[in-house]
Amino acid sequence: MLVDGFGREVNYLRISVTERCNFRCQYCMPEKPFSWVPKENIMSYEDMFKFVKVAIDNGVNKIRITGGEPLLREGLDSFIKMIHDYKNDIDLALTTNGYLLPSAAQNLKNAGLKRINVSLDSLKKEVAHHVAQKDVLATVLDGLDEASKAGLKVKINCVPMKDVNGGEIIDILEYCMERKYPVRYIEYMENSFASSDLKGFKSADLLELIATKYKFKKVPRENSSPAQYYELENGYQFGIIEPYGDDFCESCNRIRLTAEGFLIPCLYFEDALSIKESIENNDIDGACKILDTVLANKPEKNKWSQDEDGEVSSRAFYETGG
Ligand code: SAM
Ligand code: SF4
């Protein structure tokens, strides 16, 4: 079992397989062109899998693949199959912008993927284009349909932004409700890579907005879920992730591995150590020692909830995978 310095069991590994992306979301990586990490600095899937086996052998039972845009990296379905074949009851999920899903969904399902979270910030062609800096909406909606048809469990992530998609909160809720996709609104997290003029909604604003049309009640929080869920009278549930709060830190169960091989104990902390060299040299004991150090360094609470001087994070979402 993996346990951190505060006695929390860590059973959830998030793996960012690439920092590259085919979108340039305003809140994540709006700059064009973008300077990517050279391919030789990226861990191979075979090496990532060596670490995944150690993690699974030590009690990890939930793995999420993310990025950058994970579907951009060739061979993802084979990587998913390797993990699935090693332990087929692992909770194996993927976070994607959905653009490449129309052709990838069935292969992912066949490889053993169970769940998929798709980012959907707008149902308006022009707004989606503005956010991603690319005309993406029709293809993403098509990808969602294909994922559903393939039998993947779908959730939606949406970042509400003032003067961007703020007028669509209820439309997005209803789109998701009709299709039985739980939607999670993620409060915009400031970071030094995002467009400087973005303004997010706070949880209270979102709840007030939704309350203009729907009655809902708070659902008791599931252990270690970063989202607080609310249930409408018809039973549909939506969630809100409040990164500036620290309610979920107490039961945090996750660590992250980046495409470059850094193990990150907490999204909001700068401490990260690389396992790339140890794994490449087949020094699994060395990698385990690094893992122990990272677990020992895992902070009690996320940094932003403690930051009184309002410092903007330099942690890039496209590297850590959110
Ligand atoms: N490219 C994939 C996608 O967009 O779903 C996976 C990687 S992306 C970094 C993972 C999640 O982080 C997405 O749901 C995205 O909306 C969210 N995200 C990125 N930057 C964010 C920010 N500044 N604030 C809140 N959420 C953010
Ligand atoms: Fe790409 Fe996802 Fe970042 Fe958007 S949020 S730029 S899709 S990594």
Residues 70-111: tens digit of each pLDDT:
999 999 999 999 999 999 999 999 999 999 999 999 999 999
CA neighbor of 60 nearest in space, from 50, 49, 52: 52
Structure tokens at 53: 């086996």
Q: How confident is the model at residue 308 (pLDDT cuts 50, 70, 90)?
A: low
Q: How far is the C-alpha of 137 from the C-alpha of 278, rounded, in Å?
A: 42
Distances (CA, A) of 13 to 54, 65, 85, 199: 11, 9, 17, 30
**Cα 67 to middle of ligand 2, angstroms:** 8
Task: Work out which ligand 2 atom sits closest to the CA atom of 97.
Answer: 7
Nearest CA to ligand 2 atom 3: 28
Q: Is the CB of 120 under 6 A from ligand 2?
A: no
Question: Does the C-beta of 28 come closer than 6 Å to ligand 2?
Answer: yes
CB within 8 A of 281, min separation 6: which ones? none
As assigned by CATH, the class of the 12-155+248-320 domain is alpha beta
Q: How distant, in Å, are the alpha carbons of 45, 120, 141, 167, 249 from that of 179?
A: 34, 14, 12, 20, 31
Residues 17 and 42: their CA atoms lie apart, in Å, by: 8
Tell the burial category of 218 from Cβ atoms under 10 Å away from its Cβ (0-12, 13-18, 19+): exposed
- The CB density around residue 204, as the number of other CB atoms within 10 Å, is 10
Decide if pLDDT at 18 tops 70: yes
pLDDT, one tens digit per residue, over 194-212 is 998 999 999 999 999 999 9
Would you kindly state where each structural domain of the chain is located, as residue ranges?
12-155+248-320
> What is the percentage of the chain residues whose pLDDT exceeds 70?
95
Ligand 1 atom nearest 198 alpha carbon? 23
pTM of the model: 0.95
pLDDT-derived band at 224 (thresholds 50, 70, 90) equals confident
> Is the distance from CB of 92 to CB of 83 less than 8 angstroms?
yes
